[in-house]
Structure 1
């Protein structure tokens, strides 16, 4: 008999915060006596508004005696990093708002430093600025390094490619301010026209700035003044462009143009006339001042400002380094960039190496994630890559996006990520060199095998390969076949499971998501959702298209109900930081991987002004008919068990404040069919067949369709620079299995079978031994399906491998999940709350 409901919660923990990671910081950190993981610790607090000046003080005495208290100088942003280790013990701190000669101090916060706190000292801001202010050049290479730089890169493939591109620029005309991909804006709404204008000029900044960078680098590589003079000519041309004009007012374009001018300023400094220097500095100052005003007292408190972390922070930082001393404001700009990196990185994850936003929009951060720490390391001598996040990152890349495989299928534009591209190759090559990581080396080398130009195909990292002193063979490649086939990335919210992570053709890849950051940025409201790839192709997963960041299709289908999770009372999960999930339990063994996700907080009202405004802009009504609202869910716990090699068992615990209907969602790029009963679905892909059996105590209606909840329309004509190259949005398949009756509590149990070799056209149903008991493929399954009774789940095979959840007398803790290997307890699991939620 299972435990009573009262006794079933002992091992279960809950999170009461409305948002684990609010859009903007709402509380100071560290606080509440928390033991900090890193020493020194960054001090963070909510912004008091633009233009605010702060001080920070900390002491081991809560009364802050003058002789035993450190007090900072005035700070122009809401963060402070001491950069030097603190002694072990209890510490107290405050931030204060400076008003004339007075300081209004906050409440007192406390934290603990122990011997377990990881030490990571970095130069202070003043020390860092002094190391960045030497003679020109300094951005790509210093004057003292120039001779070795040229010798090291003499006649290399990367150097030759840069020089070849620069040679073309010597004869090129100066660029015109015109769209990179012209589009017809007739019949578009005002909001659509505004979006389309940005889309039409997307990439303009890189188009006109990248040639300047190539010319500047060619000048450094060869010393040929022709390259430096042409770089200056093009930079001076950009300096005349209107910062508010269509071509360069967008943040991406403006930052790229600013960085291009700065690259020429630094590399060809000895070739400039005084008037030319001033012309470039004036143009850089206009753009840089705008960015600093946007960032200070806001960006550092933002949970994840996508564009800044993707590109503009790096470009702002590079610009600041290039014009240090020549432009007085640049010292403050660079100090800000440095403090943001030291205080906030890694974002959208923590130590585990994961990334919240999904595969596609992970890649757009790669350049920042390599070049900023590399530049800091090169200029200071401190290894900024030597943190747990970077050391764990290669595994996340390998497990979330294997070679020759579709990715997790999660996040904006994931549908286009059918196999890792050159950006992943270059990124992992850089990580292999910096971390001496053998798995990253293996991954990069495997991708490079398919490229005729090898690693040089990854042009985003050409400059890195020229600058680094670490050769490609600094570490020997190692196939990741000795690693566990399932890994958890709790901080980011991913559990990733495989049969053969090193060979996609033989692999069954499964991802499970429950995201502490919520459905923000380019992430989706898909908590407790899953995707299954077989042979590198999607079998079941997310559906829909990234037609725009926010339009009717992305808001109503793509970001919300287009994933394999649950609709409650026909409503999807909440878009925003307050709609979040978390992974409570995880265990991997050779026989199985078990995950328990909690998406109780995923259903809520949309409260973030940003998303509410985007809904209004695109005339999407916030109604139940459109799938929005708060259905009053008080419990959504999903137990997910991957039984290797080809069976998945899913057990859902659901409860709401009132009786509602519940819908179990399943999506596929490929055609699905109804089986012999309403609760049976057949699916497949190019290499596998599949059968899904969904059991519940109530009759179900299966709405099986290849129509999106909101039509997918390629109104921006995505797919190429020319509108004629735009690709068609093909239909996907969707199964919505909905209870015919309303109930406040519900249990679903799904069994998914996968035939990887297509040996049979129709897999057989699990054998039902008795009510709530099934047998399938050598595994016995038992579950409590009555929502009024305490839940339990048993999955066992005849070899003694098992998952046993909430059984009486089983293990030491009531409500735990006991994982067994060959009849021995491998681990007893209870909930582990993410550090950020504690």
Structure 2
């Protein structure tokens, strides 16, 4: 996972802002777009019961807040909290609610906000910290494993049939890396820490992760095999890998200050190993090794806690920091497993646990999308498999049961379906999905949709996560005949994404993805509002371009996240959506105005006007996907106060071919699309160039360009998937405008 120090420094500065000004009339609503929003609100039915209450901090920085909750106008609950959020430990009765909050030091109540708890609001109760800590401390080690997990020698016939392939695969993996994976050493990374991100320093930081991650996995895997098999060789291997981590200088190249991701991974993997090995680290009463490992965990986690707890908890006020949010997950699990062994762990746990489980996730609403793109959604699934099962075993709080998490599993099915060759939208979109993480995440659900997804992913589950999971896996309780894919079309409103599939159950499907997101180009998102991506049989046909060398690199800024590298609207030689700045991209965003789906036609309309930051006065895109003829019709309409030459960009990982008759097509791995302009004003096709693609890959760039500058106009384009020669005509008779695709007539708005 790649990140920049710039968001962290910016967050630290912005954290001070709410404390400097006078209180607003409705002080819970900050003017800073990055500040936490007051929720729940707008009479929305809550997916989760109880919901988390959140608000922006009061300017007076009070020691605590008082929250009042009214049911049908009558005071029902009163809570007190020292943080600017609160997750009640018990569910609320169904009904219509309002709530308000005030500083404990004044009567300055916020404006009341409303919400609904319905019969289908899903129960997700999290006990208070004292009860959680007590439950954790009572659990014998290993806390992170299911209490019913038995040694292999006592597995039932059914469990052996289910889990022995994973055990064999993990055994082979660990045995292979015993000799082929060298231990890590501080001497590998000679460059000193620096706030200036040079290519050499970025390469070194990346190399630290490339070395730390497999060694951390080897440590945990060997410790797990020792727990399951009892074989001394795996205890020896776990001790060897743990000792190497304990020997690293906590103030050296793997320090939190120099490589925070490496440091948090070292701390967590050591703490997991301490938990898994339990008494095996103590020999004849000698606790020297265990104490040394614990001291390293304490030192590294102390630095992690200091960073996250700065200003009273920087994520409490400024949650839009993906890097810090992942760090909070590491702090949560490490502190949970360390309770009773590291005195500070109680403070770390009380700070992190309920904050982590209550705020998940800031990257979408309760329906479970992921605004940063599906590559980062994959990373989220990976981290979830590393952290959530152990938390559930230790505390009894199962994050897979959170409504957001269930929606996230379905989001993966819609946007990373079986057989798709690349990710979509945001950083890492060009990478191939590592389906074992998506499969492992979906395996935690006993639903027909999860069963369909798991059955159709040929990649095996992550074998380490499988061995550590409860038996049987929830998805295995669904019969094969009951497996059913989710709907062919889906809209995730909080992130502004839509998926339109010809037939999700068919691996030869057409998949058309569209994005007009309220998250704009913030964080790992790009300037691709109103952008689309087209796949056929999992093969990318019309794509996004560029590659993720590193966050905030020259190429990342000049091409990769710019509109001109996406299937999006630009003007005047590639000028597109404004992505510069840090907090500004969150408000330079898109929105979906309409979405509908029928068996015959899917329709979406996006508005990207705000993303152009005043350069355009209007920028809308409408897409009709005609399922019967496997054809898409795309209408862009735009306007500007200044005359501009508008451009319709499209890209491919194969040559864009324009024949002598002007027909334009892309063929990639025997999958084809013909791009057919229905010009309503003069335009021409041009080729454009981009930076050199990643080694071993190919990219081509095309654009339709209007013949002259204008203050308004439109592009009308048809995508004939498969180049079937589908009959398409434009009918403007009777004062109406229709595109007839095969036998399907689509009514279009008149030109503006």
Equivalent residue, structure 2, for 1:771: none
Equivalent residue, structure 2, for 1:594: 603
1:20–1:675 distance in 2 versus 1, CA, 3 Å: farther
Equivalent residue, structure 2, for 1:826: none
Equivalent residue, structure 2, for 1:745: 712
1:713–1:649 distance in 2 versus 1, CA, 3 Å: closer
Deviations 1:708-738 (A, max 9, x none): 0xx2376xxxxxxxxxxxx34x442112222
Equivalent residue, structure 1, for 2:321: 305
CA contact (8 A) 2:143 2:393 kept: no
User: 5+ unaligned residues in a row in structure 2: which ranges?
Assistant: 1-28, 580-584
Equivalent residue, structure 2, for 1:176: 184
1:277–1:558 distance in 2 versus 1, CA, 3 Å: same
Aligned-residue offset at 1:250:
1.2
Deviations 1:118-161 (A, max 9, x none): 14241322322222222541432266765799636668232344
Aligned-residue offset at 1:35:
5.5
Q: Are residue 158 (structure 1) and residue 158 (structure 2) matched?
A: no
- Equivalent of 1:651 in 635, 660, 674: 635
Normalized against structure 2, the TM-score is what? 0.82
Deviations 1:274-324 (A, max 9, x none): 4444333322122112222222322344454333455x4443222112111
Secondary structure of 1:546's match?
coil
CA contact (8 A) 2:450 2:475 kept: no
Deviations 1:743-793 (A, max 9, x none): 222222112223357xxxxx5xxxxxxxxxxxx62x554479xxxxxx975
Equivalent residue, structure 1, for 2:227: 220
Equivalent residue, structure 2, for 1:5: none
Q: How does 1:693-708 map to 2 (within 5 A)?
A: 693-705=676-688, 707-708=689-690
Aligned-residue offset at 1:568:
3.7
Q: Are residue 354 (structure 1) and residue 337 (structure 2) matched?
A: no
Number of aligned residues: 696
Aligned-residue offset at 1:513:
1.4
- Equivalent of 2:242 in 235, 243, 247: 235
Equivalent residue, structure 1, for 2:505: 502
Secondary structure of 1:239's match?
helix
CA contact (8 A) 2:374 2:424 kept: yes
Equivalent residue, structure 2, for 1:284: 297
CA contact (8 A) 1:667 1:734 kept: yes
1:119–1:207 distance in 2 versus 1, CA, 3 Å: closer
Secondary structure of 1:193's match?
helix
- Equivalent of 1:446 in 421, 439, 456: 456
CA contact (8 A) 2:542 2:650 kept: yes
Q: Are residue 60 (structure 1) and residue 44 (structure 2) matched?
A: no
Equivalent residue, structure 1, for 2:591: 582
Equivalent residue, structure 2, for 1:134: 138
Equivalent residue, structure 1, for 2:6: none
Deviations 1:477-511 (A, max 9, x none): 3587775432222333222222232333x322211
Secondary structure of 2:617's match?
strand
Distance 1:103 1:223 in 2: 61
Distance 2:471 2:356 in 1: 21
CA contact (8 A) 2:418 2:457 kept: yes
Aligned-residue offset at 1:544:
1.7
Q: How does 1:358-437 map to 2 (within 5 A)?
A: 358-381=373-396, 383-407=398-422, 409-417=424-432, 420-421=433-434, 424-432=435-443, 434-437=444-447
Aligned-residue offset at 1:597:
1.2
- Equivalent of 2:308 in 280, 285, 295: 295
Aligned-residue offset at 1:50:
14
- Equivalent of 1:335 in 324, 338, 350: 350
Q: Are residue 532 (structure 1) and residue 548 (structure 2) matched?
A: no
CA contact (8 A) 1:508 1:533 kept: yes
Equivalent residue, structure 2, for 1:118: 121
- Equivalent of 2:650 in 656, 661, 666: 666
Equivalent residue, structure 2, for 1:637: 620
Normalized against structure 1, the TM-score is what? 0.74
Deviations 1:435-464 (A, max 9, x none): 21233333333333xx6xxx36x3462444
Equivalent residue, structure 2, for 1:794: 738
Distance 1:649 1:170 in 2: 56
Distance 1:86 1:196 in 2: 51
Aligned-residue offset at 1:254:
0.7
Deviations 1:802-832 (A, max 9, x none): 443559xxxxxxx9xxxxxxxxxxxxxxxxx
Distance 2:71 2:598 in 1: 48
Aligned-residue offset at 1:533:
1.8
1:174–1:139 distance in 2 versus 1, CA, 3 Å: farther
Distance 2:487 2:274 in 1: 50
Equivalent residue, structure 2, for 1:490: 493
- Equivalent of 1:191 in 190, 193, 198: 198
1:177–1:106 distance in 2 versus 1, CA, 3 Å: farther
1:498–1:135 distance in 2 versus 1, CA, 3 Å: closer
Indicate the larger mover: 44-53 or 277-286. 44-53
CA contact (8 A) 1:526 1:563 kept: yes
CA contact (8 A) 1:39 1:113 kept: no
Aligned-residue offset at 1:640:
0.3
Secondary structure of 2:692's match?
coil
- Equivalent of 2:266 in 257, 262, 279: 257
Aligned-residue offset at 1:42:
0.8
User: 5+ unaligned residues in a row in structure 1: which ranges?
Assistant: 1-18, 605-629, 715-726, 758-762, 764-775, 785-790, 808-814, 816-838
Q: Are residue 207 (structure 1) and residue 214 (structure 2) matched?
A: yes
- Equivalent of 1:83 in 89, 97, 112: 89
Distance 1:754 1:486 in 2: 17
Aligned-residue RMSD, C-alpha: 3.9
Q: Are residue 804 (structure 1) and residue 740 (structure 2) matched?
A: no
Secondary structure of 2:473's match?
coil
CA contact (8 A) 2:170 2:463 kept: no
CA contact (8 A) 1:370 1:427 kept: no
1:142–1:496 distance in 2 versus 1, CA, 3 Å: closer
